Each structure stands twice: as structure tokens, then as C-alpha cells.
Amino acid sequence: MSNTFNSAHPQTRPVWLIIGASSGIGQEIARKVQPFATVIAVGRNQSALEGLAKIGCKTLQLDLTSSDAIIRRAIDDIIRQEGFVDFVVNVAGYLLEGGVEEHGDMEIQHVFETHVFGPLRVFRAVLPYMREERRGVIAHLAGIGGLQGAPNAGVFCASKAAAATVIEAFQKEVAPLGIRMCLIQLGHFRTPFLSRGHRRKVQARITDYNPILEPIRHIFDKFDGAQQGDPIKAANVIVEALTMDPNNVPLLLPVGADVPAVELKAHEVRVENMSALRALTDGTDL
């Protein structure tokens, strides 16, 4: 773990901790915020953060899959240097593609470490400081993948859905303490998310699934670099939503015109399935 902090508080600028700032939406949020805030840009690869360092961001090399002790020590060091963290924004993640049966235990574990357990370690490390001050904003990007299970990305979708559910519970627990949590549902944006390094493949292949999954893999290939969303505009929306009223940070922030359509379609399918079986299932009370 390495960092480029060197600050003596008291701070007059708000402090933003942005996890997953090496590229894509996270990097654009850091660029948007840097002129008016102290930005600590976090990523797994220090060299990928150099561009942000050149414009004045502080950087921290940290892997979200690190142990609880390592993450707590990193947060404690930040608080010691900066005095407080006003905003924590987590957008880190990657796509592991493959059929659900094709995933190995270690692959599943790593996806959930990155999208669920790691972020929770960060939030649990920073929340004692926010509780003491009775203030702070935490934003977590769950993404459109958590709205419904998708073939060739089922474990990824499951991790995003798990993260979204735990954030919804978290929101109700911390709001009375003056802390705001925002769940960001991000649509499809033209970032490196579907490119090599961000999009990974399971090691095992089961040939029975090839006719089902190969067409989807080709769709992913064609969609890479052709996503309709502008990541700069997405970053602008996220920053504005988190800062325009500290006491009224949105609980759910859909970013991208495609998000409501996917949410409504998933809801309609569930309602249709439940309604079709009500005659069978409603008569189960004592």
C-alpha cells in the first residue's frame, strides 16, 4: 500500500475518498471534484492514478480485497492526515463473465470480495468517525447489473444485487445519525468496463452452454466502446446529486436513461409471475 498524502488539518475543503478512481466514472468524479475539494483517489494500481496526481489529487494504492486490518489502517491514516472524510464514493468493480455453473469458488469469492465485502470493510472503517461527527455521505455504485440476473454475468449481477440490498438496510440505520447513504444505479456508459482487465472470463468452459452464451459474448464485444452514456455527464450528475443538499442526498440515484426501463421491466416480470400463481399460493395462512 502506498500513498501521496501530506496534509495538515484543519481542512477547509471537503475531503472526498473516491474508490475505483483509476479509470471510468471514478476518475471523472475525481476530476470534477478536485477544483473545490481534497480528493483522495484510490485504486489497485498506483501508476493508473498518476494522471489524477498531476492535477492535484492525493492518491492511495489499495485493493478492496485486502484484509479488514489493512483497510482500517488506511482509513485511520487518512483521518489522521485530513481530520475527516466528508464523502466516500465507491465505484470499484469488474465484470466476470461466464455461466453460473462455470464459476469456481475462488472466482465467486473474489467477485463478492470486490463488490460486497471490500466496500463493507471501508464503510465500517469510516462510519465510527462519521457517527462521532453526526455527518457524512457515502455513495455506492451498484449498477444496472443488480436489477435482474443476466446470463453470462449471473454471479456479477448477484454481487451487485447483494450490495444494493445491504445499502438499503444501511440507509435506514445511519440516517437517524445524520449520515446519508446513496445507492447509485448506473446504466451503460462508455468506459473501459467491457474492455480487457475490467472484463474478465471464468477459467472453466462447459460446452453445453456455448450455444446459449456465445451470442451474448459477441454482444459484449460489440457493445464495448459503443455504450450510449457519456461518463463525464454521469460524473457531473453524481457530484451534483451528492452536494446540492447535504440533508437531502437521494437514497437511490438512477444515472442513465436506460436504468428506469430495466428496473420497470424487471418489476413487471416479477409481478406477472406472482400474479399468475396467486390462486395457488395465497391460501397458505394458518
Residue owning grid cell 460446452: 207
Q: Which of 81, 64, 77, 80 is nearest to 123 (CA)?
A: 64
- Cell numbers describing residue 80: 489522521
Residue 259 has pLDDT above 70, yes or no: yes
pTM of structure: 0.89
Confidence of residue 8 (pLDDT cuts 50, 70, 90): very low
- Arithmetic mean of pLDDT, 217-230: 72
Q: What is the C-alpha radius of gyration for the chain, rounded to an integer number of angstroms?
A: 20
Residue 254 has pLDDT above 80, yes or no: yes
> Helical H runs in the chain?
24-33, 50-54, 68-82, 105-112, 118-133, 154-174, 210-223, 231-243, 258-276, 278-281
pLDDT in tens, 43-99: 988 988 999 999 999 999 999 999 999 999 999 999 999 999 999 999 998 889 999
Within a 13 Å sphere around the CA of 206, how many CA atoms are in the beta-carbon half?
11
CA 266 to chain centre: 21
Burial 134-166 (b: 16+ CB within 10 A, else e): ebbbbbbbbbbbbbeeeebbbbbbbbbbbbbeb
**What confidence score (pLDDT) does residue 58 get?**
97
- Cell numbers describing residue 65: 480485497
Query: Which CATH architecture fits 15-281?
Result: 3-Layer(aba) Sandwich (3.40)
- Cell numbers describing residue 257: 436513461
For the ranges 163-177, 206-220, 230-244, the one whose mean pLDDT is highest: 163-177
**What confidence score (pLDDT) does residue 229 get?**
74
Contact between 145 and 164 under an 8 Å Cβ cutoff? The reply is no
Q: Where are the domains of the chain?
A: 15-281
